[in-house]
Amino acid sequence: MTAAVLSLGSNLGDRLGHLQFAVDGFGAAVRAVSPVYETAPWGVTDQDDFLNAVLLVEDPDTDEWGWLRRGQELENAAGRVRTLRWGPRTLDVDVVTVHGVRSEHPDLLLPHPGTPERATVLAPWLDVEPAAVLPGHGPVAALLAALSLDGVRRRDDLPLTLPRV
């Protein structure tokens, strides 16, 4: 069985709707959906805030490349246009980690680079997997404790639901 951690983000249009679209798109593979967080943009800061969430997924027929392809297909279906690195987007799906897989391929770096410094990923991940460990970096709780949570706020008023299967 291939288990993975996926990070979702959106800051254009129906942000919550785009996140739910991704959750639904992963269907029966979804094992857990984090609470939604609203986060300030980084990298390119002159844009709207993001909504972020994390999914825990499992599928015996999906490897790391399959998770990447599925995420990209959902991004494309949500109308994502790649014009500016770290720019605004309707939907962003990142493969954070895949159980037992390390990759240095330029198209799929695992674990996802930058994760140890991103409260936008670590906070929701910790909500759904309190004992989570980021391979090569240590416990997610310790990584998150070392970061500022300025600009990161949990939005319990914006719930995501598990897909109906």
Q: Which helix (H) or strand (E) holds 19?
A: helix 15-26
Cis before 163 (ω within 30): no
Radius of gyration of the chain from Cα atoms? 15
Q: Which residues pair with 57 in a beta bridge?
A: 4, 30
pTM (predicted TM-score) = 0.94
Q: Which amino acid is at 125?
A: W
Asked whether the CA dihedral 14, 20, 24, 29 is positive or negative, the reply is positive
pLDDT in tens, the chain (165 residues): 599 999 999 999 999 999 999 999 999 999 999 999 999 987 777 788 999 999 999 999 999 999 999 999 999 999 877 676 766 889 999 999 999 899 999 999 999 999 999 999 999 999 999 999 999 999 999 999 999 999 999 999 999 999 876
Token digits of residue 121: 């990923």
CB-based contact 15:80 (threshold 8 Å): no
